[in-house]
Chains A and B, each alone.
Chain A
Amino acid sequence: MTEPSTQPPTAQSIDELIGSASAELDTLADLEAVDQWRVSYLGRRGSLTTVLRGLASLDVEERRTIGALANQAKNTLEERLEERVRQINVAALDLSANQGRLDVTLPGRPALGGRLHPTTKIVREICDAFVAMGFGVVEGPEVEWDHYNFEMLNIPKGHPARDMWNTLWVDNQDPSGGSNMLLRTHTSPMQARVMEGREPPIRVVVPGKCYRYEATDATHEWHFYQVEGLAVGEGITFADLKGTLYEFARRMFGEERKIRFRCDYFPFVEPGVDMSIDCFACDGDGEGCRICRDSGWIEIMGAGMIHPKVLEGVGYDTEKYTGFAFGMGPERIAMLKYGIDDIRHFYANDLRFLRQF
C-alpha cells in the first residue's frame, strides 16, 4: 500500500499511483481484500482522493491538466476494480463447480404422477373433435328400458336383428314375467331420448358405458364405451354424413390416412354405413396383416341416415327433417392409436398399464 502523498501531484506521480495500485490489485484473490484496496485508493481517505485534494496547491493551468489526469486515473482504477471483482467471482464459481459438483445423473424429486385413464382421454379427444363442428355433449342412463334400447330404434321384440346385441337383463320383476330393463347395449338409446326432449336442429355426441352378454377375448369386452352421434335438421344429407365423419377422421387420425365408406346394416339407419380407415400396421397393404385381417382396412364406426321409423317414433315430421347417426368404440380407437394388442388391459386396472398413457 502506498503512503498518501503530501506532495503536490504531478503527471508522473499519478502514473506511478495507477501503476502500483493496479499491480497490487492483480495480486488480490478475494473480495474482502479487494474492498480494502478500494478503501485505500478510492475511499474518502484513499491515495487518489489525497491526490485530488493536493490539486488546490497548483496554479490554474496545472490544476486543469493534472485534475483531468487524476479523474482519468480514478476512472481507470474503478474499471480495473470492477474487472477484478468479476474475475474473482468467475474464479469462485469455477472453484465451487469443481468442489461442489452435483451428480446430475441422480434422479430428481419425483413430481406427482396422476394420469387419466386412456379411455377418458380418447373419449375426450373424440368429443372435442365433434364439439369443434358444433356438436354438444350429453350423457344418458346406463340402465335402460327395452323401449329405448331397442323398440324406439326400430328393433321390436322378436326382431331377428336383436341377435346383434347380446343383452344383460336386469331382474326387475316385470309383471309380464320377462324383464324390460337392461344394461344398455349401445349408446343409441340416447338418440330417442335426445330427440324426444327437443325439436331440431340437433347435433350431439353421447359418450358412455355399454354392456353386452359376451365372452371376453383380445378384441371383445363385455363392458366398453361408445360415442354416439346424432345430427337432425332440415336438409341434412348423406353427403353431410360423409363430410362430417371424414373431417372427424382427419382430426383423429391425421390427414394421411385414407377413409372408406361402404354399405352396412343397422336397423335404426337407412342407408347404413361402415367407415374404415386404411390399416396403420400395413399401410393399407393387407397382405398377411394380423391387425386388419388381410383387408388393408380397419372399421372405425357404424353410421347411417336415421331410419324414418326412428324419426316418426319421436314425432318428427319425416317430410321436413332428415338426419344421420353414428357410433364408435373408443377402446378400439385407442388400441389403434397406441398399439394396444388386447382390449382386456383397459379395465384390468393394472397400474403398469395405466401409467403408460
Chain B
Amino acid sequence: MRLPLSWLKQYVDVDIPAQELAHRLTMAGIEVGEVEVIGGWNEVFVGQVTDVRPHPNADRLRLCVVTTGTEEMEVVCGAPNVATGLKVCFAKIGANLYNTHTERHEPLAVAKIRGVESQGMICSGLELGLGDDHSGIIELPEDAPTGALLNDYLGDTVLDLELTPNRLDCLSILGVAHEVAALTGKKVKEPVADYKESGAPIIEQINISVANPELCRRYTASLIQGVKIGPSPQWLQDRLTSAGLRPISNVVDVTNFVMLEYNQPLHSFDFDLIKDATIIVRRAKPSETLTTLDGAERKLSAENLVIADANDPIGLGGVIGGANSEISDGTVNVLLEAATFNGSNNRETAQSMELRTEATLRFEKGLRPELAPIALRRATALIQEVAGGTVAPGIVDIISDEGIDAPVVPLTSEKIKRMLGMEVPAKQVEETLDALGFTWESASKGELKVTVPYWRNDVNIEEDLVEEVVRTIGYDAVPTTMLSSPIPFQQPMPIMGLRDQIKDLLAAAGIQEVINYPLVTLEQLEQVEQLDQLALPLRMANPMSSDREYLRTTLRASVLANLASNQGHSAGPFRLFEAGRTFHPRKGDLPEEHETIAVVLAGLRHEPSWLEDESLLDFYDAKGVVESVLERLGVAATYESADDLGFHPGRCAVIKADKAVLGMVGEIHPAVKERLSLNQPQVAAFELYLAPILAALPSSQRQFEPLPIYPSATRDLALVVPSDVTAGRVTQLILRHRGIDRVELFDIYAGENIDAGSKSLAFHVYFQARDRTLTNEEVNRSLDGLLRTLERELNAILRA
C-alpha cells in the first residue's frame, strides 16, 4: 500500500524523518519496502500564466507571461495546452530539471529560442520527474497558491507498505496513524463527522431487514436527499488517485475515500431506484441473476448474499453493487450502506465469481462491526459537504444476535514472562496498550482485562497481546539466551544416513550430483519405463504448464535429460547422479515416496587429457560403482541378467540381495537414446532403491577380523568353460572351495586355440590357512580338488 506522508500527517503529527519512521514501522511488523521522495525541486514555483502571444518566428511556439505574484517573466512555451489564467509549475533559471534533450538532470539556463529569450520554463511532468508525459504542461488546480514553492505544494514522501495478511487495519490510513502514534508517542486526530439532520426520519422512509444475520452481523444505512451529483473537488480526486483509485463522482468518491480512511467499505444506492423503499439482506434465490456495476450478468446461488429490494437483488453484499441501483448523474436521493458481512462467505463469493474488489479485500479478513456506523457517519457528513443535500434524521442499525461486543482478552504478567523469558514492568505494559489504543482494567494482581480497539481484528488471544507489547517495545529489548531445557534423545532416520553415505560415495567416485523438478510429462516417463496403466502417475489438479503435470515415478528420465542438455558442452566424461523421491499412487492415501538414486555415465572415461586414452564409459564402469558402493555398505549383492524397457537387451542386470531387488544396472536402450537425442555411442546407467538396501544392510556392526599371520600361496588358473557359463558362477564355485581365501579374474579370452562355443577365464587364486603355512603338497591337493569340482559342475577344463 502506498502511503503519502502528507495524508498521514492529517491524522497524526509526524516529527521524525521519514526514514526513521519507516524503520520503526518495519521493526514493529509493518514493513516499509521503500521510501519514495516526490519532488525535491529547487527554484520551481506555482505560477500563473497572465498572457499568451504568438511567437514571432515560429508557428508552434508561443510567448507567455508568467507571474509568481512578485515577479513577471516572459517564457517561450511549445505546449498545446498553455492558456491564459492557467496555474502552472514554473521553473526559474537555475532550477535543476530533467533535460529531455540531453536526458540528464541539469540546471536551467537562459536560452534564446528562435530569437526570443526565455526566462524560465513551464514544466511538463517529465521535466519534474512526475511521470512520463511530455505532451503538455502540468495544469495545476485553480486554487493552487501562486508563488508557493512547488516542493511545498506538490512535494511528498510516500511509504510503500508491504503488509502481512493479518494487519488489515493498516490497509487504512487511520490504522497506520494509530500505529504511528503508538510508535512515536503521538495522538491520533480523528476525522470530523458532523452533519445536520432534517426532514422525515430515515426509519419512516425505508424498510430494511436482514433475513440472513449469519452472513451479515451488522447493517447500517443513512439517507441523504437532494444531492447534486458531479465531479469531486480536486483534493478528493487527488487522494483517490494517489491510492490508485479512479475518481467517479462525488458521492461514489466519498464512499471510496472513507474506505481508505477507515477500511469500512460503503455502498451508495440511488434511493429512488429501490423498489418499494424496501431492502432485504438475504441469500440469493437459485435462479436469480444480477448485472453488476462492471456490466457482467452474474448467475447467483444461495451461497451468495444479496442486497435486494422488494423484488430483485440490487447488490452483491460486500462485493459489488448492481447496475439497477447505480448512482447516476440524475441521482437525487442517496441511500448509504455500511455493513459487516461474513468474511469467509464474502471470500468464497469473490473467488467463485473471480471478483476481488477493494471491498472484498477488506471484508474477507473480518471487519469489526463497530466500524460500520463510524464510517457511515463520516461518509454521510462528507457527502453533504461535497454534494449538498439534507440528511434524514437517524440511521438504520440492525445488529445480529451475535452482538457487537469488542473482544476482551486477559493478559497476565506471568504469561509475558513465560513467553518472552523476561519481565516487562506493569506500568510499561499498560502504557504500551494505551498507546496502541487498547483499553484495560485490572482484574486481579498481575492480570489485565484488555479491550481490543475497533480497528484491530487480529488480536484475539493472550499471545496476540504479548506480541503487541513486545513488538512495540521492540524485539531488541528481549534478552538472548540458549535453550536450557533438556536435550531430547534423537533417533536418527536410517534412510537419511544411508542416502547421505551413498551420495558421498558417488561424489567420491567422480559423479556429479544434480537435482531435478519432480513434475514431468507422461511422455517423458513413458520414454524410459513401462507405465502401470492401472495406477498412472499422480497428476496435478492445477498444473502450471503441460510440461510439469505428473509426479515422476522414476528418476531416469530426468537424469537422462540432464545428459542431453549438457552433452553439447563437451565430450565428457558425463557422470551424473540424482538422489530423489519417486511417487507411487495408493488408493485413498498419500502416495508412497521411494528414495531412489539414479546414475548416468556416458562419454569419455577420462577427462580429455594429453595422458589418457579415448575409451568410453560403459556398463562395467556403472557396475563397478555399484559394486564399490554396496561393498562399502556391507551389502552382498548378486547380479542377474534382466530385461527392462529402458535398457539395452542383453546389457542389463537386476541387482539383488537374496530375493530383494536393490536396483538395476545396464546400458540405455538404443531406442531410448534416440528418443532423448543422446548423441553418445553408449550410455550406462544404474538405479538404487534405498528402502530395500536399508533392509539388506548387515544387522550387526562389522567385526574386526584378525590379520593372517602365515603367508598365502598363489596359483594361476586358466580354465576353458562353455561360453554360456558366467564368470560369476565360476568365481562363486572357486570361493566356496576349502582353503581359498580370495580369487581375482584377470583375463577373458575366446578365439584362436579355444574351441568355438568355449571361452577361457584366467584367475589368480589365493590359498590361505589361519594356523600354518600351507605346504606345496597341500596347495596342489586343494587345487586338484577344485579342478574336479569345476569340471563336474561347469564342464571346465584346465587350459592346455
Contact = CB atoms under 8 A, between A and B. Distances in A.
A67 B348 CA distance: 121
A106 B609 CA distance: 10
Nearest to B163: A265
Nearest to A198: B488
Nearest to B558: A349
Contact of A113 (B348, B488, B510): B510
B55 interface: no
Given A141-B590, A223-B517, A265-B167, A116 B503 contact: yes
B800 interface: no
Interface residues of A, number: 86
A254 interface: no
Interface in B344-376: 344, 347-348, 364-365
Interface in B655-703: none
B101 to A, nearest CB: 26
Given A239-B421, A354-B512, A201 B488 contact: yes
- Among A115, A143, A168, A271, residue most surrounded by chain B Cβ atoms (within 10 Å): A271
Contact of B593 (A115, A141, A238): A141
Given A106-B610, A261-B475, A265-B165, A351 B512 contact: yes
B491 A136 contact: yes
A294 B34 contact: yes
A200 B609 CA distance: 58
A220 to B, nearest CB: 12
A238 B496 contact: no
Nearest to A173: B541
Interface stretch (B285-293, B331-339, B458-466, B756-764): B458-466
A243 B467 contact: no
Contacts of A164: 165
Interface in B581-623: 581, 583, 590-591, 593, 606-607, 609-612
- Among A145, A163, A265, residue most surrounded by chain B Cβ atoms (within 10 Å): A265
A151 interface: no
B507 A236 contact: no
Contact of B485 (A137, A138, A235): A235
A350 B565 contact: yes
Nearest to B585: A172
A111 B779 CA distance: 41
Interface in A245-286: 246-247, 261-265, 267, 270-273
Contact of A355 (B470, B512, B515): B512
A213 interface: yes
Contact of B590 (A111, A181, A294, A305): A181
B29 A239 contact: no
Interface string A109-126: 111111111011000100
Contact of A109 (B165, B464, B508, B609): B609
Contacts of A186: none
Contacts of B167: 265
Given A112-B510, A240-B483, A351-B569, A170 B540 contact: yes
A100 interface: no
A137 B496 contact: yes
B775 interface: no
B300 interface: no
Nearest to A109: B611
Interface string A166-179: 00111110000001
A99 B637 CA distance: 52
Contact of B421 (A202, A238, A262): A238
Contacts of B347: 158, 160
B586 to A, nearest CB: 10
Interface string B747-774: 0000000000000000000000000000
Contacts of B192: none
A54 interface: no
B517 to A, nearest CB: 5
Contacts of B33: 293
Interface in A161-216: 161, 163-164, 168-172, 179, 181, 183, 200-204, 209, 213
Nearest to B499: A139
A74 interface: no
Interface string B13-55: 0000000000000111101011000000000000000000000
A243 B482 CA distance: 5
B484 A235 contact: yes
A38 interface: no
A186 to B, nearest CB: 15
B575 interface: yes
Contact of A242 (B478, B488, B512, B538): B478
B486 interface: yes
A203 B535 CA distance: 38
Contacts of B517: 223, 347
Contact of A347 (B475, B482, B515, B551): B515
A144 interface: yes
B562 A240 contact: no
A171 B540 contact: yes
A160 B165 contact: yes
A135 B27 CA distance: 29
A137 B493 contact: yes
A131 to B, nearest CB: 8
A143 B515 contact: no
B316 to A, nearest CB: 18
Interface string B540-564: 1111100010010000000000100
B530 interface: no
B484 A349 contact: no
B471 interface: yes
Contacts of B483: 133-134, 203, 231, 233, 236, 240, 243-244
Contacts of A313: none
A120 B513 contact: yes
Contact of B478 (A238, A351, A355): A238
A213 to B, nearest CB: 6
B544 A213 contact: yes
Nearest to A138: B493
Contacts of A222: 544, 548
A203 B591 CA distance: 28
- Among A164, A170, A179, residue most surrounded by chain B Cβ atoms (within 10 Å): A170
Nearest to A309: B461
B463 A351 contact: no
A310 B609 CA distance: 60
A107 B610 contact: yes
B419 interface: yes
Contact of B583 (A143, A168, A234, A264): A143
B422 interface: yes
A100 B165 CA distance: 76
A322 B476 CA distance: 21
B470 A271 contact: yes
A169 B512 contact: no
B506 interface: yes
Contacts of B490: 134-137, 203-204
Given A170-B538, A223-B517, A263-B471, A243 B506 contact: no
Interface of B: 26-29, 31, 33-34, 164-167, 343-344, 347-348, 364-365, 418-422, 461, 463-464, 466-467, 470-471, 475-476, 478-488, 490-493, 496, 500, 503-504, 506-519, 538-544, 548, 551, 562, 565-566, 569, 574-575, 577, 581, 583, 590-591, 593, 606-607, 609-612
Give the 9 A-B CB pairs with smallest separation, nearest first. A112-B510, A237-B421, A239-B421, A136-B490, A263-B29, A271-B467, A265-B164, A110-B607, A134-B487
Interface of A: 106-107, 109-117, 119-120, 124, 133-139, 141-145, 158, 160-161, 163-164, 168-172, 179, 181, 183, 200-204, 209, 213, 222-223, 231, 233-240, 242-244, 246-247, 261-265, 267, 270-273, 293-294, 305, 307-308, 322, 346-347, 349-352, 354-355
Given A107-B609, A139-B496, A171-B539, 9 more contacts: A112-B509, A114-B508, A114-B577, A115-B512, A124-B500, A231-B485, A240-B481, A243-B483, A247-B482
5 contacts: A111-B510, A133-B482, A136-B491, A170-B541, A237-B421
